[in-house]
A = this chain, B = another copy of it.
């Protein structure tokens, strides 16, 4: 049942899109290859043509999915809008299209070396992107600020998702949003270095 190159590339994309969503929604060990390829409208066998293994797919889905997340956030030009978009009920309620660090962070230590390295690159690029919105003098200082801001953002979403009480969850988001916004000294953004 050979298919055209275009169709094959499209199938590959569909697998990646479904995988990036399902891994974030259900966890790496929480979703199987059958369900993964079912969601892409294919059978499990074709995973191995394209990616070699579930781990290989995870690695690609991470790279590809992160590129999409970054593109979606391309318009964000200030720390305020980044914080507001990230520490939000919408992000909390849609892990499938949200941040990989918040969705999979706890599982990453148990993944393959390849996946962990890819993930580390994502953390670095997130740091760089947030650092670019910081106002401190010196790149290292901005990066350190970014690492602290990033940890707060990730922790807020992890806790807000874990908690079983909607009001408490909203409060976790609000308290962290406020803390982060009051730390952001430049409401017009981009007055960096």
Contacts and interface: CB of A to CB of B under 8 A. Distances in A.
A147 to B, nearest CB: 4
A106 B109 contact: no
A30 B29 contact: yes
Count this chain's copies in the assembly.
Answer: 2
A176 B151 contact: yes
A143 B116 CA distance: 35
A137 interface: no
A58 interface: no
Q: Is the interface of A mostly helix, strand, loop or mixed?
A: helix
Interface range for A: 35 or more
Given A158-B105, A162-B109, A168 B117 contact: no
A31 to B, nearest CB: 10
A110 B161 CA distance: 10
A172 B147 contact: yes
Contact of A152 (B27, B119, B148): B148
Contacts of A113: 164
A33 interface: no
Given A144-B175, A151-B152, A159-B150, A168 B124 contact: yes
A120 interface: yes
A79 interface: no
A110 B30 contact: yes
B106 A103 contact: yes
Interface in A94-128: 95, 101-110, 113, 116-117, 119-120, 123-124
Interface of A: 26-27, 29-30, 95, 101-110, 113, 116-117, 119-120, 123-124, 143-145, 147-148, 150-156, 158-159, 161-165, 168, 171-172, 174-176, 178-180
15 contacts: A29-B30, A101-B158, A103-B106, A105-B158, A105-B161, A109-B162, A116-B164, A119-B163, A119-B164, A120-B162, A124-B168, A143-B175, A144-B174, A145-B175, A148-B175
